[in-house]
Chains A and B, each alone.
Chain A
Amino acid sequence: MSERPEKPDPIYTQPYDPTLAEKLYNPQKPMENRITDIGPPHYWQFLPPVIQRNYGKWKSHEIIQPGVLKYKAESGEVVYVVRCGTPRLETTDYIREICEIADKYCDGYVRWTTRNNIEFHVTDEEKLRALLEDLKSRKHPGGSYKFPIGGTGASVTNIVHTQGWIHCHTPAIDASGVVKSIMDELFEYFGSHKLPAQVRISLACCLNMCGAVHCSDIAVVGIHRKPPLVEDERLEKVCEIPLVIAACPLGAIKPATVEIGGEKRKTVRVNEDRCMFCGNCYTMCPAMPIADGQGDGLAIVVGGKVSNRITPPKFSKVVIPYIPNEPPRWPTAVKWIKKILETYSQYANKYERVGDWIERIGWERFFELTEIPFTWHLIDDYRLAYNTYRTSVHFKFTSHVEVMTDYEY
């Protein structure tokens, strides 16, 4: 076990010195005074004393209301936890407001969850009540809650998401705006326990799938639908051509030579029939931009999970191949996500995750119940696709089946 510092390092109580770095860092001698490889601050110093005392000695827990957990230790000590949603993309003032709350009620201790919610810890019920009231009263000028309470139990908790148009160069959609739009619409499910099981919603703005999209109950992934442009004049100067060729999962890119102004230039050509618009060539080569306002949009995938509870972890599957970008509120995407969630909520058994429910009823029934149109894009055609076909006569008759009486060609 690493050495445990009991209290936060005293360095944090010394005020930030805005002039220190200029004194220490000399651009003429960049390696002077440099500190490296110190790693993260030791976690132990940031654990509240009640957590330190009962570390590894917890007995059980209880969700006393949506967003509020109670943990009992073997020692008999109790800690209450209040979980609040955050937008993940935030400012230092928002963090300071979290600090203000943590100082007031929690002796300055606070933690973030793996889904970017915040958790405040208190040890007595009176403080808990005051904390809850305080949190409910804090709103942004536009009326949104700063710290909505919830995200526990059979709820829709925070949406794991990515950078989108706020910071990334390869997205097909925005992240923060889509997430805000979905969470506004599903807000009642954040602060309640009325679903058959917890529902994890995730979003990735391109199919690099940073985050959890490939293993979530319901997820949004940004997609392109047009092949990349090839900037012949620039390509050989800014790209390593073999890397670009190797970047294509379908071998759709080959080297080429073109003549520009009497000069031979090395470049590439894209076999458009083979391209499925993944954008990985653009990741490797700035001269192959792929973004397109009309072509880009999002796909919806469902039925993934990471836990081993009852059934093994599962990948999410594509059920809607394309919905256009509709900033600022993405109404079509939000409508379908709500439809999937509520259909699941209506038909699934207790403890069934979205994927467990669909596997029980069959995908054909899922499409019938949700009224999502089934199109040819949903049938896998990548390498091991055969495993996803229906090699049995086990299926249900749904509205999709039309009896074939004759067949002309």
Chain B
Amino acid sequence: MGEVKKHETPLLDQLKSGPWPSFVDDIYNYAEKHKKQSGFDVLGQMELSYKEKETHWKHGGIVGVFGYGGGVIGRYSDQQDKFPSIWAFHTIRVNQPAAKWYHTSALRKLCDLWDHRGSGLVNFHGSTGDIILLGTVTEQLEYVFYDLTHQLKMDLGGSGSNLRTPECCMGMSRCEWACIDTQDIVYELTMQFQDELHRPAFPYKFKIKVSGCPNDCVAAIARADFSIIGIWRDDIKIDQEAVRAYVAGELKPNAGAHSDRDWGPFDIKKEVIDLCPTKCMYWDEREKKLYINNKECNRCMHCINVMPEALRPGDDRGAVILMGAKAPILEGAQLSTVIVPFIKIEPPYDNLKNLIYKVWDYWMENGKNRERVGEIIQRIGLNRFIVDVLGLKPIPQHVREPRSNPYIFWKEEEVEGGWTRDVAEFRKRHPA
């Protein structure tokens, strides 16, 4: 390896101090140890951005690997004379294992690959979930892909107008509240839809996220066009002995989440009963017994979160399907909206897959260029989306409240006599 050139970075150097892990220190140490010019150049260019307060990456960049239409984000420096080693600095998205569990044997091998063929910089992980290999040149892309598929049995993630990489919360691997097997669902859907993920065929991007319960630890309701959130239909399971232990102060509320401040002794009335959003709970002080009117419960998770030793989700489990979340561009930010209040989730998840195919069929045909699913729902109306597109029955759970304006569409077949009328007939009854 030749000589490497370090740039002066007085502004970035100030980010070495302070307790939070310093990316500047990390990148410098790496670049020095591995004699990587790209590490020095990327910090050099960033220093320039810190001085000028403007990015120095050129617009766009279309690169990739044969057979796929996505997975690589092309990037070129606009300061190629100053920072030649990052003239191209492409990002490769690698599909992560569901819920991001790893064994070091796989991670170390991935590191060896990336030292050899890239900058050595990574993001663990991208917001959608992928492992991000940050920075390599165009010539290396095919070789990285060959290494990934042949030596690591890893594939690229998604980018562009396609199915993006699905992700989930940790689910059953470590959480007592998981109502569905989030990791298995994500793995199964990712495998089923490999073609849709690697070869963009959609009007725009489409994301799937799976959370095991309404705490929504992967933010499915905010960050996925198709949000799958685990819930139950029957009664919350109560261990009255454990409830009494909470009331007696033997167990820490919320598993100890508030331990560094004196909030006073646990008060079940104040902290659980009165905070229940549907007011469906009752603590009988004399009987020392907790009652839940489960018919009125909306499964917000609060009581379960506060008393994890005493309360558990019910046994009749499945998921609620919501659709349409997106960031502001273009028509404003949206959260996903309830489409299917309860769906049974059993392998091989055919009902789930069919529902996804149904949405795709319509959106692929009717979606405008760069129109997210949430925007097509807005454009045609949730009522038409539910009834005409998906063939589902409209129910009160679909809305927060019914419409307040009376601008109601009726279908001609709903109206007696239809819409074809003769004004002469009208005039017989009502001379002008």
Contacts and interface: CB of A to CB of B under 8 A. Distances in A.
Interface stretch (A209-217, A363-371, A389-397): A209-217
Interface in A189-217: 190, 192-196, 198, 207-212, 214-215
Contact of B302 (A44, A116, A310): A310
B37 interface: no
Interface string B168-188: 011011111010010110011
Interface stretch (B141-149, B353-361, B387-395, B408-416): B141-149
A317 to B, nearest CB: 11
Interface stretch (B216-224, B286-294, B424-432): B216-224
Contacts of A90: 21, 23, 26, 121-124
A267 to B, nearest CB: 17
B329 interface: yes
Interface string A64-94: 1110010100000001010001111111111
A328 interface: yes
A194 B261 contact: yes
Contacts of A2: 184, 187-188, 191, 347
Q: How large is the interface on B (under 10, 10 to 19, 20 to 34, 35 or more residues)?
A: 35 or more
Interface in A116-153: 116, 140-148, 152-153
B84 interface: no
Contacts, number: 472
Contacts of B110: 92, 95
Interface residues of A, number: 152
B97 A41 contact: yes
Contacts of B107: 95-96, 98-99, 110
Interface in B114-128: 114-116, 120-125, 127
Given A43-B187, A86-B124, A184-B20, A93 B33 contact: yes
B54 A46 contact: no
B20 A46 contact: no
B127 A329 contact: no
Contact of B50 (A41, A313, A327): A327
Given A25-B142, A153-B259, A249 B331 contact: yes
Interface in B248-279: 252, 254-261, 263, 271, 275-277
Interface string B99-134: 111111111111111111000111111010000001
Interface in B328-359: 328-333, 335, 347
Interface centre among B20, B34, B271 (most CB of A within 10 A): B20
Interface centre among A51, A280, A313 (most CB of B within 10 A): A313
B101 to A, nearest CB: 4
Nearest to A324: B53
Interface centre among A89, A93, A114 (most CB of B within 10 A): A114
Nearest to A103: B104
B25 interface: yes
A144 B97 contact: no
B150 interface: yes
Nearest to A171: B55
A165 interface: yes
Contacts of A44: 183
A193 B256 contact: yes
B295 interface: no
A24 B142 CA distance: 10
Contact of A307 (B142, B172, B183, B215): B215
B190 A8 contact: no
A108 to B, nearest CB: 4
B397 to A, nearest CB: 13
Contacts of B127: 160, 162, 210-212
Contacts of A192: 260
A193 B67 contact: no
B4 interface: no
Nearest to B39: A91
A20 interface: yes
Contacts of A99: 104, 107-108, 111
Interface in A44-76: 44-47, 51, 55-56, 58-66, 69, 71
Nearest to A213: B327
Contact of B173 (A47, A141, A167, A313): A47
A306 B125 CA distance: 20
A327 B181 CA distance: 44
Given A36-B149, A168-B55, 18 more contacts: A8-B103, A11-B153, A15-B109, A35-B150, A38-B153, A46-B103, A58-B176, A62-B255, A86-B21, A93-B26, A116-B125, A153-B257, A154-B261, A162-B127, A180-B15, A215-B219, A306-B221, A309-B300
Q: Lowest 8 CB-CB distances: which A-B pairs, in order?
A: A142-B16, A184-B18, A153-B257, A286-B59, A140-B25, A12-B105, A16-B112, A293-B53
24 contacts: A20-B150, A30-B66, A41-B106, A43-B99, A43-B173, A58-B172, A58-B174, A59-B176, A62-B308, A85-B20, A111-B100, A114-B219, A140-B21, A153-B258, A154-B258, A166-B134, A167-B75, A167-B89, A207-B327, A214-B327, A291-B55, A294-B53, A309-B301, A351-B302
